[in-house]
């Protein structure tokens, strides 16, 4: 598993009236990836934004666009998200009956392939697709909203996912309730990519975002303590 720590701010917590600037600011502040939470009001009880917004954001940064699709079905829209400029596309295992087909489609579109699991979904659904993915995303809240509390039982799930990944080149990402209080435990459990919305888009502009990202990085780095 890659060991490089990556911080992926979720623009769900940004000011939607100035999203282009919010993307530029968070990347200037030290973000590694930009996390894009797409919600359809059907798979999750909230609606966010779709491919046209991502396409409009693309010229604002060359950072890795990490797209988390909370939509069902996902398959009819994968090409639109690829064309919009996503670098990685992550689908929920619960979003349809043909997970492997979704993963093949993302691969064929030339994008990094991710799978994510709701808190109640067992890791066993990944056993037969490990050779087809670049990223596993463990949801540490029930998807749909920012600002929720990290579910502690997900630490064991992260550790089990890390063991399942072994030496494969698969990133292990965690999403939901990541703060300076929770990121250390998630790192020790084995995650290497951290989504954070409300913990990063707090305060206004580059200086505040930099302090928030640096704080998370330091808390993640103190993993041996």
Six token digits for residue 24: 């530029």
Indicate the residue whose CB is closest to Zn ion: 68
Give the separation between CA 77 and CA 44, rounded to whole angstroms. 16
* Partner that binds at residue 112, options ligand DX5, Zn ion, none, CB closer than 5 to 8 Å by kind: none
**Rounded CA separation 141/150 (Å):** 6
CB of 63 to ligand DX5, least distance (A): 16
Pick between residue 104 and residue 148 the one whose CB is nearest to ligand DX5: 148
Residue with the two structure tokens 């998200």? 81
d(CA 107, CA 164) in angstroms, rounded, equals: 21
Label residue 153 exposed, middle or buried (CB < 10 Å: 0-12, 13-18, 19+): exposed
Q: Is 175 labeled as catalytic in the residue annotation?
A: yes
Residue 40 interacting partner from Zn ion, ligand DX5, none (CB closer than 5 to 8 Å by kind): none
Q: Which residues bind ligand DX5 (CB under 6 A)?
A: 10, 12-13, 35, 37, 68, 141, 143-144, 146-148, 175-178, 195-199
Task: Give the span between the Cα atoms of 219 and 133, in whole angstroms.
Answer: 28
Query: Which of the residues 37, 40, 66, 171 is marked catalytic?
Result: 37
Cα dihedral sign for 137, 142, 148, 153?
A: negative
Give min distance, CB of 89 to Zn ion, in A. Answer: 12
What is the CA 151 to chain-centroid distance, rounded?
A: 16
Nearer to ligand DX5, 6 or 35 (CB): 35
Residue closer to ligand DX5 by CB (options 47, 163) is 47
Interface with Zn ion (CB under 5 A): 37, 68, 175
Comparing CB distances to ligand DX5, the nearer of 88 and 177 is 177
**Minimum distance from residue 151 beta carbon to Zn ion (Å):** 14
SS3 (DSSP) at 147: coil
**Start-to-end C-alpha separation, the chain:** 21
Q: How far is the CB of 143 from Zn ion (least distance, A)?
A: 7
* Least separation in angstroms between CB 166 and ligand DX5: 26
Question: Of 108 and 203, which CB lies nearer to ligand DX5 in the complex structure?
Answer: 203
CB-neighbour burial class of residue 123 (10 A; exposed 0-12, middle 13-18, buried 19+): middle
> Closest CB to ligand DX5 belongs to which residue?
197
Residues acting as catalytic residues? 37, 175
């Amino acid at each position: 598993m890659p060991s490089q720590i990556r911080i992926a701010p979720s623009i769900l917590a940004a000011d939607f009236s100035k999203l282009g600037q919010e993307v530029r600011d968070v990347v200037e502040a030290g973000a590694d990836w930009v996390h894009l939470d797409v919600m359809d009001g059907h798979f999750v009880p909230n609606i966010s934004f779709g491919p046209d917004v991502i396409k409009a954001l693309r010229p604002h940064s060359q950072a890795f666009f990490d797209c988390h699709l909370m939509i069902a079905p996902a398959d009819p829209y994968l090409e639109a998200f690829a064309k919009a400029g996503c670098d990685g596309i992550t689908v929920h295992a619960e979003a349809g009956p043909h997970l492997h087909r979704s993963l093949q489609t993302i691969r064929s579109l030339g994008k990094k392939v991710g799978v994510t699991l709701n808190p109640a979904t067992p890791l066993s659904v990944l056993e037969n697709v490990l050779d087809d993915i670049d990223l596993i995303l463990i949801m540490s809240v029930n998807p749909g909203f920012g600002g929720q509390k990290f579910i502690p039982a997900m630490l064991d799930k992260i550790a089990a996912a890390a063991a399942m990944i072994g030496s494969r080149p698969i990133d292990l990402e965690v999403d939901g309730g990541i703060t300076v209080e929770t990121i250390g435990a998630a790192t020790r459990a084995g995650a290497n990519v951290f989504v954070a919305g409300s913990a990063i888009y707090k305060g206004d502009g580059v200086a505040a975002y930099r302090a928030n990202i640096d704080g998370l990085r330091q808390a993640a780095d103190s993993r041996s303590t």
